[in-house]
Structure 1
Amino acid sequence: MYSFEATLSFAQQEDGKDELSKFKQEFYFPQRNGKDAIYFCGNSLGLQPKTVEAAIAQELRDWQDCAVEGYWKAKNPWLFYQTSMRPVLAEIMGAKEMEISVMNTLTVNLHFMMLSFYRPTKTRYKVLMEAGAFPSDQYAVETQVRHHGFDPNTAIIEISPRPGEHLLRTEDILQIINEHNESIAVILLGGINYYTGQLYDIATITAAAHKVGAMAGFDLAHVAGNVPMELHKWNVDFAVWCSYKYLNGGPGAVGGAYVNEKHAADREYPRLGGWWGNEESTRFKMEKGFIPKAAAEGWQMSTAQVFNMVSLKASLELFKAAGIQKLKEKSVRLTNYLEFLLQQVKGINFEIITPKNCNERGAQLSLLFNEAGKEIHQQLTDAGIIVDWREPGVIRVAPTPMYNSYEDVFHFYEIIANIASKRLIK
């Protein structure tokens, strides 16, 4: 159990004990009113590591000095650029290195994975996903279903919270899996729901999917770099993620994919082929006949997007130094402190719809406002707090352990409490 105090001195004391506090100095912060903003929006776009500029300059120099020979003579040879990121990502995602591929972008990877793992038949053709999933997932699944000649209205099963509730209950997910046991082809859930911040029980859901003969896949956009995973241990079939949120890869940065070893090592497993997914030993023979690498990189299409990967590579060096487990421990304490402080706020009608159990959430708390939510969001913005608004009524607040502090959390509380007190006076 944690013991907290709603005082600046307590927050500063906690920062003084925090061994990860030094990492805050490794990032650039947006400026508001002549000083660093309090940035709680890493769940939308992570901050820029200060090492990125030099990392990009290195690749520019190698391009300038080596031209095509940079593929093997650059400081970070471009031929194998993406492979250098696999060890850290494998640790973060709980995977074997051969199960990780750094490529494309999130929705492109989702389509590629669906083309491999969604192979419907006349009787087993349904996709199970959460109602209100992020639009990119909805669009991808809808168009995949249509691509195979099925009607999304009957082929997509959407799970909703119970009436009057905001969160999905694991037992309800399992019940629906059992009810549709012979017709479900793929279960595709967001690892963390973008709106509520709920972390799903991936291990239990995966086991239930396999029990009824379905594939289990996850969109881990809000998980990667936020919550440690054990994808291999849980026997997840596939997963995809972006790297521009908690992984700080920069806007539109390269995505990632996980393919379980049992599928990745199977060269006969169906997939679309590309030159860079071909077996390295025969790649430059320029011959007919696609022979995929016996790894997740067998789903890769093209050469490494070096300038779209360089920021992620720089950020992963910080993750390697900090350690995902230590980041998670700090994240739990930060969000618990934020929750404690928000409970002290009077005068604003809101509720925290993110699970209270810290094992069922990551760095994000979602505050649902019954009134004046957008107005309050604007007041927070004007006061130098960067959080985001999601329709129909949520302010998402994400104190990210890599670069946020307890003092940041306390100042957020001070500002929202001040907004609340003015509303009370009115």
Structure 2
Amino acid sequence: MNQTVLRLGVAGLGTVGTSLLRLVERHGQDLAVRTRRPIAITGVSARDRDRDRGVDISGCGWFDDPVALARSAEIDVFVELIGGAEGAANEAVRAAISSGKHVVTANKALLARHGAELAAAAEAKGVSLNFEAAVAGGIPIIKTLRESLAGNTVSRVFGILNGTCNYILTRMEREGLSFEACLAEAQRLGYAEADPTFDVDGFDTAHKLSLLAAISFGTEIDADAVYVEGIRSITTADIEAADELGYRIKLLGVASRTDTGFEQRVHPTMVPKSSPIARVDGVTNAVAVEADFVGRLVLSGPGAGGDATASSVMSDIADIARGDVVGTFGRPASALQPYRRAQMRAHEGGYYVRLAVFDRPGAFASIAQRMAENGISLESIVQRRRAPRADAPDHPTPLEPQPVILITYDTTEAQIKDALDRITVDGHIAEHPQMIRIEQFA
């Protein structure tokens, strides 16, 4: 056994940082046996030195400035758990690399914005830049793509990458609650931030997806190329309609290799109830990988939480302790190919469209005509009568809007959106159309 201690400097003592301290305290001896090298936390940095975190940090050097910790001669590995694409996290990671320190981070925003540049700097210094904890919490998806599937060509990677959104959609389905009610409960339980924009509007998933795409396809990271929709527009009517049609609604990140380039998209998706991804509930994450030699793999597990994320952080630290230095994205940064966006193509699963249509002569004919003008074939049309209010007549008045659900065959995004724009202008609907992609995952 190498008796030289691997010294860690941990910046950020929030939920994940304190879990990492507990992990090292609890499993330090076993880790030394597994990695053939003792591991110890020798320096820490956080905003509040006096806060009670439930862990003993008296034996660690304290640094008010994470950049100073990153440059300290008393550490070998800088563990960045601060968060954010810029500011202290960015400065500290760069300082650590330039000082010849290995870096382990859980910061997807930083890597989505600066990953290729930081990877090149780490390679030039001969140090590791590891980020298993940045995507899907405790699920070892980075190692799977980067190492276990090195002999495969990946054609598609997709999954549920945000536990907050999956929790909200699960509660909406099970309890018939509105999006707003479920979001408030997620915030109360700590699953969602006070400002939930990053999660519920899909940006968190987009950052994670851009990292998975870079490893899967060997391309440069292009988070700006991800098409992003969140889940704010999903209603209980959509949840109920999906159930009747044999689907469940999930916020998915999907990255695909095509003949004309690469596609990255984040949006609510109807998936068949029979598919493994449809059965992933609550704050759990799941990632599916499709590759030429292994077929389809599905990994599922805790996508967030201090202990699960700390477990992934430690897996990266253990690699460094063993001396395993793997390219950040599975290949040299200089070998990453420019990201080439795929040309528009028909969405193979079709679309679900919900319209609030005024029940008057000519309305349905006009809607069908607009669809036909855009080359869109309809698989089914379902009109669902609204339940009458207690103070309303037994039958709706002719002008009262009624829900109409359309299921299309394969068509392009541009075609369906143009048709819906025209339908809106015609004045036959009372509210903005709802459109959700359908994925069959056959």
* TM-score normalised by L of structure 1: 0.29
Higher relative contact order (CA 8 A, sep 6+): 1
* TM-score normalised by L of structure 2: 0.28
- Structure number with the higher strand fraction is 2
